[in-house]
Structure 1
Amino acid sequence: MAKRFNSKFTHLSPVWYDLKSQGTGLILEGRHNADMGWISELRMAGDAWVLPRVVLEAFPAELLTTKKRRSKAITLLVSECKEMGYDGVVLESWSRWAAYRILHDPSMRNLALQFIKELGDALHAVSLERNDKQRLQLVYVIGPPHSEKLQEHDFGPKDLRNLGDAVDGFSLMMYDFSGPQNPGPNAPLKWIHSTLQLLLGTDKNSALAHKIFLGINFYGNDFALSGGPGGGAVTGRDYLSLLEKHRPALRWEKKSAEHLFFYSDDEYNNHAVFYPSLMSISMRLEEAHKWGCGISIWEIGQGLDYFFDLL
């Protein structure tokens, strides 16, 4: 999909790396995943930049509190970009820091933001191998607030403004609104709108809005409504086989702006399946367009081919 639809993307982010604590040091794992043949084919197919995703698994108390550790982590990431010819990195760390419960401590939160800024500055100091007028980029992954009122660990408008100059784009993960305990839509449109409003205020088409990649899911969910837990994430292939097997009627849920269908499995348990459709995707693209945002997709291999016609 990345090769076939390369011209529709500005950035492609393979899920390859983890930065971990190892004893008293740090290690960047994942180079064995790197597919250099695929990258060179991508570059022959179009101009999309390749920024592998790096998940920051290192213990935050150790990583953030010493300048030496922060510098080591940054050196590892910048060196990997140089050695492998990447165009930058997509960094995921906020959700990990929230899990370690460090973001409610003002001094630790400041160190966390400082680390992202230092990484952005270090990447921006390096010009691309392929084009010395362009610099390495940093895209930062952020999640939506979990309630209407911002919690201490949420990434909020203040954090967005704080990092605005150091980060080239924010990948906003607007999916997984529902789960097995509360079956329902993947990403209600009102939720998307209220999150963007919370982060950007009423300032549509601001400089910061242009840096947000609004997350759109190309996967869906199959929820068991009776008979205990069942189902799970649904990719395009799963979705087509469920349609073929059960021939269900698709329903449009106006409130969330998503399509769904119901079916009974071989044990007569009832299921609800929410999966993206051309209509649901186009409404989300329209929302992004209204704000002046870009989009990010999780993930392009899980959709149906004709989804790409909308991009």
Structure 2
Amino acid sequence: MAKKQLKPDSIRHRNRVESSTRQPKPSNSSSKNLHGSNNRRIFAIIAVVFIASSAVSILVYRRVKHLSPPSLSVHQRGLVKEDVTFQEILSENSRVSENISQRHFTNSVLAYITPWNAAGYDLAKRFCPKFTHLSPVWYNLKTEGTKLALEGRHNADTEWLSELRLRGNAQVLPRVVLEAVPKDLLRNKKQRDKAINLLLKECKDMGYDGLVLESWSRWAADGVLYDASLRKMALQFVKQLGDSLHNFRSQRNGQPLQLVYVIGPPYSQSGKLQAHDFGPEDLKTLSDSVDGFSLMTYDYSSPYSPGPNAPLTWVHSTIKLLLGDGGKSLANKIFVGINFYGNNYILAEGGGAQAITGRDYLSLVDRYKPMMRWKKDFAEHFFLYSDDQHREHAVFYPTLMSIAERLEEARSWGAGISIWEIGQGLDYFFDLL
């Protein structure tokens, strides 16, 4: 395009020069001298203009460069605050610091990735240096007749795994949900051994650094944890799996394979543990065999009781209850759960709720341009709006300030964090990690 624009100008310039050369020459020497003098003046003016324009161009370039520095972090841009506005959220959410390799939260960071949300895979690669552990949600261990079957290898993305290895040192521990019939599995030594062998083989075949195991909630739902003998067998199974993993080493870094165990928070309002809760004694029992505990400190509210996703006071009391007296020495094995999703509640009686991701949240913020409200007791932002049917809504979704508060809570205990799940968040959240 530049050549097509410049060509007519050059032709017109040439035509003007040729036209002037066809003018009658002056007949006297004074005219000739004047003509030569004029040419010299013109050339001098052109030279000055050229030099001046070049200098101005350089100054403008430097000025623009000065005004457009590399992207700063959210802290440097002053965005981590209570009085955030919808305009700031809309304009800033996709801007992140160029230095993505720098870690601000130096304790362990476990991030979950789900196969139904492709954004998580891309974000895991992009921000890989921010994480110590990545857990793609790929596997289920099920009972099929009288046998056990490990399902989910079709989810495993080997190309993605290879790219991760080039971008950072995060350990990859796929999540396995234990769906095998609990009583059959726990009471039968052969089945327990078979289950562990299946999991070990998958780690070795696929080159994983270990596993994240989720089973406690299933055992609670099936009544296993109310029976003292079955509960003991359940804990013994987790110990056996952890010890077995530690006997093998990662193909990537030569370190023992790791086990992270998923545990739910106690919901007792009295501050006392219920029979099915995972508590301090369970933590101590497993601490030598389990490398970390992914604590699900979210989903505090419900459609029947709309409110914050994870009130900070509740997060604090949950950690305190789990660690028990003198249990702070094990806090470094806790991954405090942080949600990167939110909830949109309809406040009318029986109205219900919808889980929302970052994309949903930005759409609502853009449409309703709400006033963001900070609730100090919860350490969460929320906003209200009325829909087309005149129903009142309350939207709770993480913000930079709410996440920063939870990071500080985890840091104060010496604990790590676990994020469910990174594909549901906003890009600038990663500046905090």
TM-score range, shorter chain: over 0.9
| 2:294 pairs with 1:171 | yes
For residue 232 of structure 1, give the secondary structure of its aligned residue in structure 2: strand
Counterpart of 2:224 in 1: which secondary structure? coil
For the Cα contact (< 8 Å) 1:227–1:269, is it kept in 2?
no
Which residue matches 1:138? 259
Match of 2:426 among 282, 287, 304: 304
User: Quick check: which one's helix share is greater?
Assistant: 2
Shift of residue 228, structure 1, vs aligned partner: 3.9
CA drift of 1:268 comes to 1.2
Instruction: Give me the whole-angstrom Cα distance separating, in 2, the residues matched to 1:247 and 1:187.
Output: 24
More strand by share: 1
Contact persistence 2:335–2:417 (CA under 8 A): yes
Residues 295 and 336 in structure 2, CA contact (< 8 A), matched pair in contact too: yes
Using the alignment, how far apart are the partners of 2:148 and 2:126 within structure 1? 37
Matched ranges for 1:123-272 at <5 A:
123-132=245-254, 134-147=255-268, 148-201=271-324, 203=326, 206=329, 208-226=330-348, 228-272=350-394
TM-score normalised according to structure 2 size = 0.70
2:150 to 8, 28, 36: 28
Q: Kindly tell me: are residues 204 and 22 of structure 1, through their superposed partners in 2, closer, same or farther at Cα, counting changes over 3 Å?
A: closer
* Identity rate, percent: 68
Q: CA RMSD in A?
A: 1.1
Give how far 1:212 is off: 0.4
Equivalent-residue separation in structure 1 for 2:199 and 2:267 (angstroms)? 30
Structure 2 unmatched ranges of 5 or more: 1-122
Deviations, residues 108-148 of structure 1 (Å, cap 9, x unaligned): 0000000000000110000111233x011100000100102
Residue identity opposite 1:94 in structure 2: W
Match of 1:47 in 2: 169
Does the 8 Å CA contact 1:214/1:293 hold for their aligned counterparts?
A: yes
Cα distance between partner residues in 1 of 2:315 and 2:371: 27
Structure 1, residues 54-88: CA drift from partner, whole Å, max 9, x if none? 00011101000011000000000000000011111
Greater radius of gyration (CA) = 2
Tell me by how many angstroms 1:274 deviates: 0.5
Q: What runs of 5+ residues in structure 1 fail to find an aligned partner?
A: none
Does the CA contact (< 8 Å) of 1:186 and 1:220 recur in 2?
A: yes
Q: What is the total number of aligned residue pairs between the two structures?
A: 309
Aligned to 2:15: none
Contact 2:304–2:352 (CA under 8 A) maintained in structure 1: no
Mapping for residues 87-98 of structure 1, pairs under 5 Å: 87-98=209-220
| Worse-superposed segment, 262-271 or 97-106 | 262-271
1:160, distance to aligned residue in structure 2 (A): 0.3
